[in-house]
Structure 1
Amino acid sequence: MIGGLPIRQVAYFVEDVRAAAIAHAATFGSGPYFVADHIPLKRSLHRGVAAPLDHSSAYGQWNDLMIEFVQQNNPGSSAFRDMFAPEGEGFHHVALIVDDLDTARAACEQAGFTNALEAEMNDGFRFLMMDAVARYGHMIELYEGAPVLTGFYDVVRQASVDFDGRDVIRAITMT
């Protein structure tokens, strides 16, 4: 089920995650932003077909909401390129933390949303991108509330407490 779940994150597809994060921090006071380059994926399916996805992301906090800026580093089809041509940018998805990924996928599919991305990180953490563009103008990212994820959300939120606008960009590594 996905009804009643709070949006935990909003994400923008951009050409340069660092520049976007710095601009958002300067305009809205969000941050700091934790930047992961070339996030490794064990598996990536675009609309059911294996498709490599090399992406980088910047994660920061803006009040109660995590902001993500994501860029695609490789050419080819993806859930990002479904919405944006090369050099295109804009609002891409909202993220929900669900109790069970497969149940949430089924609920989305029943609502008419197709699966645009199924990915698995090297540590076994899975996430989905459901295509809700025709109805809402954006994708919906789904992932389970595994400790690795909720712990990361806590780190980003805690770093935002008393953030003074300095050291906006902070490098991290995802395995």
Structure 2
Amino acid sequence: MTKALFGPIDQIGYLVDDLDRGIARWIAQLGVGPWTVFRNVSLQGRYRGVEGIVTMDVALSYQGDIQIELIQATNATPSPYRNADGTPILGIHHIAWVVDDLDDAVARASANGLSTVFEASNPATNVAYLEPEGETGVLYEFIQGQGMREMIVAGAAAARAWDGSNPITTIG
């Protein structure tokens, strides 16, 4: 058996049309929480060769050691969060790994046949989404950011201890 090239999956991302309703569904239907919400997140990046600033609202929770990310795109900039006609994509979107060296991870994934479709950053994080040739749908994301691993460990511990109270904390 071979070892996974990038270690265990750290995150599963979902795109939603309404972040608050998405969080409510995950709590009511799946018992997943608590959630940390970040409003007005922006990423400067390039999607399939087109430069732009993507804005979104993001919510994070945990199931076991895996971070669950809900994303609501809040502008119409071409991005991996919208179809070619500009309509939002909804549903499961990506699986992700936190990496120490984004360039190295992208180079290794590219050598294995994946193509970069989106590269972006903000002061807290750098990301890249990749896809296999001829296969659209779920993307593979690599995330590099200071304190990301510690945030996941702390969030997973908070989810394991969650008693259902205080289901949402909003930052920004």
**TM-score of the alignment, normalized to the shorter chain, above 0.5:** yes
Q: Structure 1 residues 23 and 77 mapped into 2: Cα distance closer, same or farther (>3 Å)?
A: same
CA RMSD of aligned residues (A): 2.3
Uncovered stretches (5+) of structure 1, i.e. residues with no partner: none
Distance in 2 between residues matched to 1:24 and 1:14, nearest whole Å: 11
Distance in 2 between residues matched to 1:20 and 1:106, nearest whole Å: 34
Distance in 2 between residues matched to 1:84 and 1:13, nearest whole Å: 17
Q: Structure 1 residues 100 and 17 mapped into 2: Cα distance closer, same or farther (>3 Å)?
A: same
Paired residue for 1:141? 141
Paired residue for 1:166? 165
Paired residue for 1:20? 22
Q: How much does 1:24 deviate?
A: 1.0
Contact 1:116 1:129 in 2 (8 A): yes
Q: Deviations over 1:72-93 (max 9, x none)?
A: 1001310111489625411000
Of residues 68-77 and 151-160 in structure 1, the stretch that sits farther from structure 2 once superposed is 151-160
Q: Structure 1 residues 105 and 25 mapped into 2: Cα distance closer, same or farther (>3 Å)?
A: same
Paired residue for 2:57? 56
1:73 has 2:70 as partner: no
Uncovered stretches (5+) of structure 2, i.e. residues with no partner: none
Aligned residues: 169
Q: What SS class does the counterpart of residue 70 from structure 2 fall into?
A: strand
Q: Structure 1 residues 116 and 4 mapped into 2: Cα distance closer, same or farther (>3 Å)?
A: closer
1:9 has 2:8 as partner: no
Distance in 2 between residues matched to 1:21 and 1:84, nearest whole Å: 27
Q: Structure 1 residues 134 and 62 mapped into 2: Cα distance closer, same or farther (>3 Å)?
A: farther
Q: Structure 1 residues 87 and 49 mapped into 2: Cα distance closer, same or farther (>3 Å)?
A: closer
Contact 1:34 1:172 in 2 (8 A): yes
Contact 1:20 1:69 in 2 (8 A): yes
Paired residue for 2:46? 45
Contact 1:22 1:168 in 2 (8 A): no
Contact 2:65 2:153 in 1 (8 A): no
Percent identity for Structure 1 against Structure 2: 26
Distance in 2 between residues matched to 1:163 and 1:116, nearest whole Å: 37
Distance in 2 between residues matched to 1:27 and 1:133, nearest whole Å: 35
Distance in 2 between residues matched to 1:158 and 1:83, nearest whole Å: 39
Q: How much does 1:137 deviate?
A: 3.4
Q: Report 1 or 2 for greater relative contact order, CA contacts < 8 Å, sequence distance ≥ 6.
A: 1
- Structure 1 runs of 4+ off > 6 angstroms? none
Instruction: Give the residue type in structure 1 aligned to 2:77.
Output: G
